[in-house]
């Protein structure tokens, strides 16, 4: 790897070794080629953006990384593990969490329970212990509740703790979605358009939360976002996809001046 | 305890006493991470001791000033006490002040150490740091967002505590000695008054004065360690500070800090304080909320509510005062209590309130009676920063809606010829910090404090305040003009948030109105009126009609009072923007700065008196995200119907 | 191609099962053919009911559990009405009743529940089932009634030349099968060839698109429920004529559910083929698998046909959840 | 209106995680339980016990079981009577063949048998959803109908296929009279309610609800669908198995083949639709409703002097059930439990409307 040193926004934050690499991934649905021979890598603690016009295969890329889709060709390496064919819950166990473009909250559950559910894979007590809810089961529940409260505090969701998630306004639902993903203490967080449909203030809040998560919790971030200003502002490196192919990869400045990228975006805006 | 009272003459000594007498009773609760985390008196003392040693290790010495800026957090209160342990003087600052406002106190008091709540406060402090050479250290409580701040002045509260614990381990006698050196006559704390006209003044209060007033009230009201207070006003305000710092340390009751400003209502419902103090505007806002929410209720419920509120108005206050009430009315009231009052107290979080105070400014009589009739023992008090709050407090069972009650033990009152109230009390302040001139103006040689308030003692011996001496004016016709009195009457309507009345030296009274966005917005939605924001809503004719109705009702009331009948409001306009403390139109305690407003909006005032029906305004508007823009439009002016003054009586 | 393998294996097993009695000489060819024909005839009826089901599912996305109750209701109506009037008048009247019923269902059930999840709609049809069962028996009575189709009941012997002993066939079965086949054919034609039929299919594919080409959704629902009602009348009359009109008809009609699982919820050929597979399968299982099972496990009688269809469908679901002709569904995230 | 929540603050998570965090709710609940244990046994008639209270208590256990699967985990089943049958026959055979076994152990083992059956028939849920699953569960229904009617061993080679039981002896207490049965069942129901409530509040419950609300997202945050669905099927079937055993021993006493038929399955489903899906409390409401309605329908016309035959009454019952299902789905898809919750919330906020 001879990737150039990326510039840093914060002093003290160390972008580390490559944590995820995507190698020659191709994915097709029937005849539709969603991804063609895409390769890139993500370094530990960095903020990595995937951009591209509509239908460029961005969401498919995230879905491949966390095992929702299984690519026909290519492989993925996360930390020391290689795989092509992995179920989403296995990805979660490995430390990959994600949020969804069309918020996929558990609408019938409270905000607290939504975020608690994010910690499910860390909870161990058996069925009988849970049914009796004594001793270790209750202790475990309380310990995790405490962790979840930290996330609620972190995302400033205190007033909504016991509100049913489906009843929250859109911007807050997005925040809960992020909270649920963070609750699993992921190594890497995939964010699918975290700021779509938000107003300026909500976007600023969300940026702050993402950067804080990256900075304070050390979470590696891979995000898809349409708002170019945001992408250029917060990401360390950017991958550009167009029609399922990678057309550029580099720092925000490099990408901004890339001819292929400019053309792809001009072409898409017609 | 009475026997030891002589030795317990400072707050740190009181704290240690509580830690000894009731170590496992709750002292401070804070809703954090979803539950009410509790410090017992023992924990409180531990924290304070460690913190004091930390501060000492970092160079805080006797007589130095230590600033504390933040919301109600246990650590802020611990900081106050820790400074006092060392004989240093804590200076609580308003957490919502902008950076420039913070600079003055820090420069004035040569403050070297600040304990700040979070990044927001740290940012402000760092901004003014270049202009404040005295400021050496800033300690932050919440590290969020501060990880990459590398300013040398900055360190965490945690590190301070750690340093303190280490120092304490090395030498535990040092602190006890320091505490022992404290004397009641030492300065306990300094509060900067918001200063409606001039620069803020640092009011210096001694342990003796604060402790004396707290003890007096404890005895007067029968407060005890089971009482609970919710601390939700700025700790830099003496009103909050004495309730959540001085009084609990004297009495041993528990204070509770809400989780965040958005959750105060919910937190109040959970905690159910027994002892409550809020300025009238809070009670006003609560009542507005009640009215608005009741208007959404079903017709049947609304009728029930109106009926029983009528019953309550008739007999509620009398029942609360233990006066005789007919059996039928008493039963009706009991039914109303089951159906309306008790549930209402519950949703307001006031079920357990034994004593509630309001003060700081006059409260509308209707507003006051509303709470009393619900069975909430709301009383008025009179006092200020300079008097350690408690001067007059209404006694249980002798509550009148338009007075501040009789002087509490130890207080002497007298009036000047201009009806200005003078006070002598053990609670009086020592001086204005570094301001001998102001001190001399306010406190004469005989120790009388000149309050600047105009008023008199009524037949029952209760203090009645009309207005500020300098604000009480005369209409051109020579009759009395008390603007605050009028404004309060207007503000009693849920639709009116602020009012500014003009009339001194003029032939008639005119007013600026600020509508209440929540109440009027709700009203507009029910009427199906579309609007885009405050400015748009405020300019609608229907809203003018609504406000017009309110003004005319005030006029009808005023016409009943001989002295004030001439003060009926002839013309008014609804301001295009909300009056804002950030624009200096209100004080930090949200008092209207009438003079400033009259100057700033002189063209509007001229238009009111010039008989025009519209006036063009162009104004800079500051949006919430900090950007500014210009607003330009015509403001409408309305004539309000007035009633004939009784003097010129017509057909009976 | 990979995903077809289990289906092919399953098909092979079924075929093997079908011919096993012949190959293993457990049965005379004549008897085997008789059983096969009996199965096919029952299968045609299943296909018919399943068609009504598929129709409704395609057009409104409703999993109509009430199809069986509709068959019972229709059969009861025809049976009781034909006591007072000629059969054809009774049937015409029953058609009118079923159309009215369709209209009511659209008005009172579907329209208020539009855009609800499939499971909620399924539960609503459970409600309709109960209502129809209760209503039918309140209005028409709850005894066992007969429908006289006017076809001679005695069986005839055919193909004596081919098989030893010939094959015994009921004439009414033949007539029923013919009617059913004609109706299935007509429906298939209606769906594939006519403009309305195509419109109905368009609705299933995309409600928005269908509305945008000017088809009122509500009317379409009334039409499909009416057609399903008419199908129910035919099935009800045929079964009623054969078994007598009684409550158990609604249970028999429930067999349409495994049929559509087999065939795919939205496929007309699937419904037809599925019906035949189930019909033949359960008859064969009952006749040839039943006795050995009874013997082996000392059972108190056969009755495999009561569950065979469901178990077959269950097995099929595990192998190929989308059915024979259904479309594969991809979850979008 | 009746709530006074001021001062009821929680200073520990354990207090915040209580089953009934509000004091007034706890008082009401204790009052209710005390009433059920101390007053009802002396006040109720045998008729009330036998035709209302006993079936209500047992069906509530079954409805809670079905609700765990359908309401909490979102997996539909229209064949849950099959698991009741498994439980009933398992208990019968254990009781018959291992006579020394404590009845409580018999109950639990019967539940485990049903749970095993539930897991087997739950396997399709791993591949299919919603409507398809409904048909798969029908297979369980018809298969169990057949097995218990035809396999003689289960019915101890009884000639008619019917089985009969005798009163149970529990630690020297012979549960014979209606009052005995009522007390026993009440205790069982309370235990099972608490267990179910705890399960739904634990991480397993969250896994179920997550699977119900958004299965893809649930998997993405690390919830294994296999585990969530199969445990829901197993525990749900366990409850129904126990309920089935109780139904056989405590309510029917003796029963014929097809005692646990499709109608019972559908009735269970109706209980949770009307009572409220995803609510333990709703299971109570639903069971009460389904038990009481036929009796009311039989009684009410008599009070007004209108003669009505049993057959007509049962047909009317069908119609009313059917109509109510549709009505509830349209007006209040979350059933009586939601109405209750809304009412409670109104009381808490009284006199404010919201």
Would you tell me which residues 135-154 of chain D have a C-beta closer than 8 angstroms to some C-beta of chain C?
135-136, 138-139, 141-143, 145-146, 149-153
Q: Which fold is adopted by the domain B11-198+230-249?
A: Rossmann fold (3.40.50)
- Measured in degrees and rounded to the nearest 5, phi and psi for residue A38 equal -95, 130
Average pLDDT over chain D reads: 91
Same domain? A150 vs A269: no
C62 → chain D, closest CA residue: D131
Question: Tens digit of pLDDT for each residue in B154-166?
Answer: 999 999 999 999 9
Query: Is residue D32, in this structure, part of any structural domain at all?
Result: no
Beta carbons of D221 and D93 less than 8 angstroms apart: no
**Which residue among A12, A13, A149 sits closest to B34, beta carbon to beta carbon?**
A149
Tokens at C215, concatenated: 């088809």
Torsion angle in degrees (nearest 10) through CA of C131, C136, C139, C140: -170
Residue C158 — φ and ψ, nearest 5°?
-125, 170
First to last CA, chain C: 26
Range of the domain at D71: 46-349
Nearest-by-Cβ selection for B38 from D1, D8, D11: D11
What six digits make up the tokens of B181? 């050196």
Task: Locate the DSSP E strands across B440-504.
Answer: 449-457, 463-468, 473-474, 480-481, 496-502
User: Class for domain B473-648, per CATH?
Assistant: alpha beta
Please check whether residue D266 lies inside any domain of the structure: yes
* CB spacing of D350 vs B293 below 8 angstroms: no
Inform me whether the pLDDT recorded for C174 exceeds 60.
yes
Q: Which of D138, D139, D319 sits opposite C135 (nearest CB)?
A: D319
Partners of B293 on chain D (C-beta within 8 Å) are 352-354
Q: How many structural domains compose chain A? A: 2
What does the pLDDT read at residue D128? 78
CB contact set of D97 (below 8 Å; sequence gap of 6+):
none
> Does the pLDDT of residue D307 top 80, yes or no?
no
Using a pLDDT cut of 70, give the percent of chain B over it: 96
Contact D138, C327 (CB under 8 A): no
B36–D9 C-beta distance less than 8 A: yes
Find chains touching chain C: ≥3 CB pairs under 8 Å: A, D
The single-letter DSSP state of residue A163 is S
Q: What is the CATH number of domain B277-468?
A: 3.40.50.12780
Which residues from chain B sit within 8 angstroms of residue A45, using beta carbons? none
Grade residue C1 by pLDDT with cuts at 50, 70 and 90: very low
Q: What is the CATH number of the domain that holds A194?
A: 3.40.50.300
Residue among A150, A152, A212 whose CB faces B145 most closely: A212
Which of D4, D24, D352 should we substitute to test contact with B (largest number of B Cβ atoms within 10 Å)?
Answer: D352
Shared domain for A177 and A190, answered yes or no, is no
Do A132 and A266 have their domain in common?
no
Which residues, in sequence order, are CB contacts of C94 under 8 Å at separation 6+? C74, C77, C78, C81, C233
Dist CA D81 CA D200 (whole Å): 22
What integer pLDDT is reported at residue B494 of this predicted model?
A: 79
What's the pLDDT score for residue C211? 61
Testing the interface with C: which of D267, D273, D290, D318 to mutate, by most C Cβ within 10 A?
Answer: D318
Lowest mean pLDDT among A236-240, B364-368, B575-579, D36-40: B364-368
Are residues A62 and A21 located together in one domain of the fold?
yes
Can the peptide bond before residue B136 be classed as cis, meaning omega within 30 degrees of 0? no
Domain interval for residue A217: 15-95+186-270
Tokens encoding A168:
């929250």
* pTM, 2 dp: 0.87
pLDDT band at C152 (very low <50, low <70, confident <90, very high): low
Decide if pLDDT at C163 tops 70.
Answer: no
Q: Check D315 against C118: CB less than 8 A apart.
A: no
Evaluate whether residue A175 is within a structural domain.
yes
Looking at residue B403, its pLDDT comes to 83
Instruction: Using 70 as the pLDDT threshold, list the residues of chain A that sit under it.
Output: 1-13, 266-270
Is residue A84 domain-shared with residue A196, that is, in the same domain? yes
Pairwise pLDDT comparison (C64 vs C327), residue with the higher score: C64
* D91 within a domain of the structure (yes/no): yes
Angstrom distance (rounded) from CA B129 to CA B103: 8
Is A159–B266 a contact, with Cβ atoms under 8 angstroms apart? yes
pLDDT band at C32 (very low <50, low <70, confident <90, very high): confident
B299: contact with A, CB 8 A cutoff:
no
Largest CA distance in chain C: 64
Residue A66 belongs to some domain of the structure: yes
Total structural domains within chain D: 1
Parse chain C into domains and list their residue ranges. Answer: 36-275
Contacts C72 to D, Cβ<8 Å: none
User: Does residue A4 form part of some domain?
Assistant: no
Q: Is residue D23 included in any domain, yes or no?
A: no
Closest CA to C52 of C236, C214, C178: C236
| pLDDT of amino acid C149 | 73
Is position A211 within any domain?
yes
Compute the CA torsion angle B254, B256, B257, B258 (nearest 10 deg).
180
Percent of chain D scoring above 90 in pLDDT: 64
Is the predicted pLDDT of residue B571 greater than 80, yes or no? yes
Do the Cβ atoms of C102 and C225 come closer than 8 Å? Answer: yes
The pLDDT assigned to B2 comes to 38
- In tens, the pLDDT along B47-92 reads 999 999 999 999 999 999 999 999 999 999 999 999 999 999 999 9
Residues B2-12 have pLDDT tens digits of 334 458 999 99
Check if A143 contacts C (Cβ < 8 Å).
no
Task: Tell whether ipTM is more than 0.95.
Answer: no
Indicate the residue among A184, A211, A240 that finishes a domain: A184
Q: How much is the average pLDDT of B511-536?
A: 88
A171 and A60 in a common domain: no
The answer to whether the Cβ–Cβ distance between A149 and B266 falls below 8 Å is no
Residue A132 located in a structural domain:
yes
Tell me what pLDDT residue B94 has.
Answer: 94
* Confidence at residue D336, expressed as pLDDT on a 0 to 100 scale: 94
Q: How confident is the model at residue C50 (pLDDT cuts 50, 70, 90)?
A: confident
Is B36 close to D351, i.e. CB distance below 8 A?
no
- State the average pLDDT for chain C: 80
Asked if the structure places residue D40 within a domain, the reply is no
Helix (H) or strand (E) holding C151: none
pLDDT value of residue C248: 81
Task: Using DSSP bridges, classify how beta strands A18-29 and A73-78 pair: parallel, antiparallel or unpaired.
Answer: antiparallel
Nearest to B385 by CA among B189, B153, B147: B189
Say which residue, A83 or B237, is predicted with more confidence: B237
Instruction: Mark yes or no for CB contact D329/C113 under 8 Å.
Output: yes
D130 is a domain residue: yes
More confident residue, B351 or C41: B351
Q: How far is D276 from chain B (nearest CA, A)?
A: 26
Q: Which of D6, D349, D351 sits opposite B272 (nearest CB)?
A: D6
Q: Do C303 and D146 touch (CB under 8 A)?
A: yes
| C330 touches A: beta carbon within 8 Å | yes
Of the residues A168, A184, A200, the one at which a domain ends: A184
Task: Provide mean pLDDT across the span B251-257.
Answer: 96
D272 to chain C: nearest residue by CA? Answer: C123
Hey, which of B269-278, C318-327, D139-148, D293-302 has the most confident mean pLDDT? B269-278
Q: D94 in a domain, yes or no?
A: yes
Chain B residues with CB-CB distance to A153 below 8 A: 32-33
pLDDT above 90: percentage of residues in chain B = 60
What's residue B650's pLDDT? 40
Q: What share of chain D is helix, strand, coil (3-state, %, to 5)?
A: 75, 5, 25
Distance CA D48, CA D35 (A): 16
Asked if residue A193 and residue A87 are part of one domain, the reply reads yes
Residues A192, A179 share a domain:
no
Least Cα separation, residue D149 to chain C (angstroms): 7
């Amino acid at each position: 790897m001879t990737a150039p040193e990326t510039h840093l926004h914060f002093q003290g934050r160390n972008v580390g070794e490559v944590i995820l690499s995507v190698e020659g991934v191709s994915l097709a649905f029937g005849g539709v080629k969603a991804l063609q021979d895409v390769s890139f890598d993500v370094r530990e603690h960095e903020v990595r953006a995937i951009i591209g016009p509509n239908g460029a295969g961005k969401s498919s890329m995230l879905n491949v990384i966390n095992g929702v889709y299984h690519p026909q060709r290519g492989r993925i390496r996360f930390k020391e593990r290689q795989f092509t064919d992995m179920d989403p819950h296995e990805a979660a166990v490995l430390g990959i969490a994600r949020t969804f473009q069309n918020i996929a909250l558990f609408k019938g559950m409270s905000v607290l329970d939504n975020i608690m559910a994010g910690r499910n894979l860390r909870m161990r007590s058996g069925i009988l212990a849970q049914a009796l809810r004594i001793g270790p089961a209750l202790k475990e529940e309380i310990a995790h509740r405490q962790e979840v409260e930290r996330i609620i505090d972190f995302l400033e969701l205190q007033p909504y703790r016991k509100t049913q998630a489906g009843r929250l306004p859109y911007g807050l639902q997005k925040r809960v979605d992020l909270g649920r993903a963070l609750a699993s203490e992921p190594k890497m967080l995939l964010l699918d358009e975290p700021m779509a449909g938000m107003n300026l203030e909500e976007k600023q809040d969300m940026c702050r939360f993402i950067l804080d998560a990256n900075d304070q919790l050390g979470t590696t971030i891979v995000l898809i976002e349409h708002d170019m200003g945001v992408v250029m502002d917060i990401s360390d490196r950017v991958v550009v996809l167009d029609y399922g192919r990678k057309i550029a990869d580099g720092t925000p400045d490099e990408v901004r001046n890339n001819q292929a990228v400019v053309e792809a975006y001009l072409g898409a805006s017609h | 305890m009475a026997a030891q009272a002589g030795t317990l003459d400072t707050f740190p000594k009181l704290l240690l006493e509580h830690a000894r007498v009731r170590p496992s009773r709750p002292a401070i609760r804070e809703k954090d991470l979803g539950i009410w985390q509790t410090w017992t008196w023992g924990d409180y003392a531990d924290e304070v001791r460690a913190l004091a040693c930390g501060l000492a290790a970092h160079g805080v010495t006797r007589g130095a000033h230590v600033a504390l800026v933040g919301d109600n957090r246990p650590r802020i209160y611990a900081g106050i006490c820790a400074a006092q342990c060392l004989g240093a003087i804590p200076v609580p600052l308003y957490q919502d002040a902008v950076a420039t406002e913070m600079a003055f106190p820090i420069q004035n008091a040569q403050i070297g150490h600040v304990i700040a709540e979070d990044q927001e406060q740290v940012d402000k402090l760092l901004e003014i740091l270049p202009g404040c050479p005295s400021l050496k250290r800033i300690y932050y409580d919440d590290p969020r967002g501060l990880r990459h701040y590398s300013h040398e002045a900055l360190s965490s509260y945690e590190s301070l505590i750690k340093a303190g614990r280490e120092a304490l381990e090395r030498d535990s006698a040092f602190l006890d000695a320091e505490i022992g050196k404290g004397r009641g006559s030492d300065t306990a704390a300094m509060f900067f008054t918001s200063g409606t006209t001039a620069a803020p003044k640092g009011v210096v209060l001694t342990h003796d004065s604060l402790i004396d007033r707290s003890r007096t009230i404890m005895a007067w009201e029968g407060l005890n360690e089971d009482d609970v207070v919710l601390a939700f006003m700025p700790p830099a305000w003496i009103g909050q500070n004495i309730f959540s710092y001085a009084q609990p340390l004297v009495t041993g009751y528990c204070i509770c800090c809400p989780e965040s400003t958005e959750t105060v209502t919910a937190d109040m419902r959970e905690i159910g304080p027994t002892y409550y103090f809020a300025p009238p505007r809070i009670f006003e806002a609560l009542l507005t909320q009640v009215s608005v929410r009741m208007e959404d209720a079903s017709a049947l419920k609304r009728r029930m509510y109106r009926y029983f509120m009528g019953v309550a108005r008739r007999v509620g206050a009398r029942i609360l005062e233990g006066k005789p009430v007919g059996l039928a009315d008493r039963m009706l009231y009991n039914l109303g209590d089951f159906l309306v009052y008790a549930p209402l107290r519950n949703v307001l979080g006031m079920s357990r309130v034994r004593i509630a105070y309001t003060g700081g400014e006059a409260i509308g009589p209707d507003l006051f009676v509303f709470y009393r009739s619900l069975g909430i023992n709301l009383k008025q008090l009179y006092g200020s920063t300079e008097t350690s709050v408690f001067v007059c407090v209404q006694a249980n069972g002798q509550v009148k809606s338009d007075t501040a009650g009789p002087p509490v033990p130890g207080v002497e009152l007298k009036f000047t010829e201009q009806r200005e109230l003078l006070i002598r009390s053990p609670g009086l302040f020592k001086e204005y910090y570094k301001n001998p001139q102001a001190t001399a103006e306010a406190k004469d040689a005989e120790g009388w404090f000149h309050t600047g308030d105009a008023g008199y003692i009524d037949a029952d011996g209760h203090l009645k305040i009309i207005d500020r001496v300098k604000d009480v004016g005369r209409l051109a016709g020579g009759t009395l003009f008390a603007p605050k009195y009028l404004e309060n009457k207007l503000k009693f309507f849920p639709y009116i948030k602020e009012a500014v009345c003009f009339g001194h030296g003029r032939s008639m009274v005119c007013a600026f109105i600020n509508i209440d966005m929540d109440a009027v917005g709700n009203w507009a939605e029910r009427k199906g009126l579309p609007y885009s924001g405050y400015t748009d809503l405020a300019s609608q004719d229907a809203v003018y009609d609504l406000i017009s109705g309110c003004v005319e009702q005030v006029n009808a009331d005023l016409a009943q009072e001989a002295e004030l009948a001439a003060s009926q409001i002839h013309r008014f306009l609804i301001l295009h923007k909300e009056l804002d403390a950030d624009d200096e139109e209100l004080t930090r305690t949200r008092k209207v700065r009438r003079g400033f407003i009259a100057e700033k909006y002189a063209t509007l005032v001229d238009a009111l008196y010039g008989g025009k029906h519209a006036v063009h305004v162009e104004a800079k508007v500051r949006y919430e995200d900090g950007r500014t823009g210009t607003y330009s439009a015509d403001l409408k002016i309305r004539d309000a119907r007035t009633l004939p003054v009784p003097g010129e009586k017509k057909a009976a | 191609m990979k995903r077809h393998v289990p289906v092919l294996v399953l098909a092979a097993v079924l075929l093997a099962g079908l011919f096993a009695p012949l190959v293993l000489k457990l049965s005379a060819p004549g008897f085997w053919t008789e059983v096969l024909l009996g199965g096919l005839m029952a299968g045609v009826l299943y296909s018919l009911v399943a068609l009504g089901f598929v129709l409704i599912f395609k057009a409104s996305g409703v999993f109509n559990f009430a199809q069986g109750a509709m068959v019972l209701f229709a059969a009861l109506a025809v049976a009781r009405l034909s006591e007072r009037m000629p059969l054809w008048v009774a049937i015409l009247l029953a058609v009118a009743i079923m159309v009215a019923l369709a209209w009511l269902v659209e008005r009172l059930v579907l329209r208020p529940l539009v855009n609800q999840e499939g499971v909620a709609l399924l539960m609503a049809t459970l409600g309709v089932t109960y209502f129809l069962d209760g209503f039918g028996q309140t209005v028409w009575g709850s005894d066992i009634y007969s429908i006289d189709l006017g076809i001679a009941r005695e069986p005839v012997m055919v193909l004596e030349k081919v098989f030893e002993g010939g094959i015994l066939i009921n004439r009414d079965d033949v007539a029923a099968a013919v009617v059913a086949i004609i109706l299935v054919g007509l429906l298939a034609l209606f769906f594939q060839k006519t403009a309305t039929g195509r419109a109905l299919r368009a609705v299933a594919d995309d409600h928005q698109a269908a509305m945008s080409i000017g088809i009122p959704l509500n009317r379409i629902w009334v039409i499909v429920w009416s057609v399903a009602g008419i199908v129910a009348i035919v099935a009800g009359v045929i079964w009623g004529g054969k078994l007598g009109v009684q409550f158990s008809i609604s249970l028999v009609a429930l067999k349409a559910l495994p049929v559509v699982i087999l065939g795919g919820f939205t496929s007309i050929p699937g419904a037809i083929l599925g019906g035949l597979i189930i019909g033949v399968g359960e008859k064969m299982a009952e006749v040839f698998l039943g006795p050995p099972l009874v013997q082996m496990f000392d059972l108190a009688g056969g009755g495999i046909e009561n569950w065979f269809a469901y178990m077959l469908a269950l097995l099929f679901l595990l192998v190929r959840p989308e059915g024979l002709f259904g479309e594969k569904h991809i979850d979008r995230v | 209106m009746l709530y006074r929540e001021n001062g009821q603050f929680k200073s520990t998570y354990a207090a915040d995680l209580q089953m009934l965090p509000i004091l007034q709710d706890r008082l009401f609940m204790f009052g209710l339980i005390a009433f059920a244990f101390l007053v009802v046994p002396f006040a109720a008639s045998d008729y009330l016990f036998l035709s209302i209270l006993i079936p209500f208590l047992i069906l509530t256990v079954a409805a809670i079981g079905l609700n765990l699967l359908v309401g909490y985990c979102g997996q539909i089943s229209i064949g849950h009577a099959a698991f009741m049958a498994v439980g009933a026959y398992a208990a019968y055979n254990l009781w018959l063949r291992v006579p020394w076994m404590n009845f409580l152990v018999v109950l639990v083992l019967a539940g485990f048998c049903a749970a095993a059956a539930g897991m087997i028939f739950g396997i399709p849920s791993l591949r299919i959803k919603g409507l398809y699953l409904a048909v798969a569960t029908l297979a369980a229904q018809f298969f169990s109908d057949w097995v218990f009617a035809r396999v003689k061993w289960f019915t101890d080679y009884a000639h008619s296929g019917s089985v009969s039981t005798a009163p149970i002896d529990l630690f020297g207490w012979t549960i014979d009279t209606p009052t005995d049965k009522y007390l026993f069942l009440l205790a069982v129901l309370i235990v099972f309610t608490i267990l179910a409530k705890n399960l739904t509040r634990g991480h397993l419950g969250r896994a179920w609800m997550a699977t119900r609300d958004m299965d893809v997202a649930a998997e993405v945050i690390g919830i294994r669908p296999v585990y969530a669905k199969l445990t829901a099927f197993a525990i749900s079937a366990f409850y129904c198995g126990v309920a089935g055993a109780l139904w056989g021993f405590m309510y029917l006493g003796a029963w014929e083949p097809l005692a646990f038929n499709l109608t019972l399955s559908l009735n269970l489903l109706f209980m949770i639709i009307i009572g409220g899906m995803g609510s333990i409390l709703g299971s109570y409401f639903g069971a009460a409703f389904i038990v009481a309605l036929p009796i009311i329908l039989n009684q009410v016309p008599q009070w007004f002097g209108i003669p009505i035959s049993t057959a007509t009454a049962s047909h009317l019952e069908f119609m009313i059930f059917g109509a109510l299902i549709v009505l509830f789905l349209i007006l209040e898809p979350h059933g009586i439990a939601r109405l209750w919750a809304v009412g409670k919330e109104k009381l808490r906020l009284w006199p404010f409307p919201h």
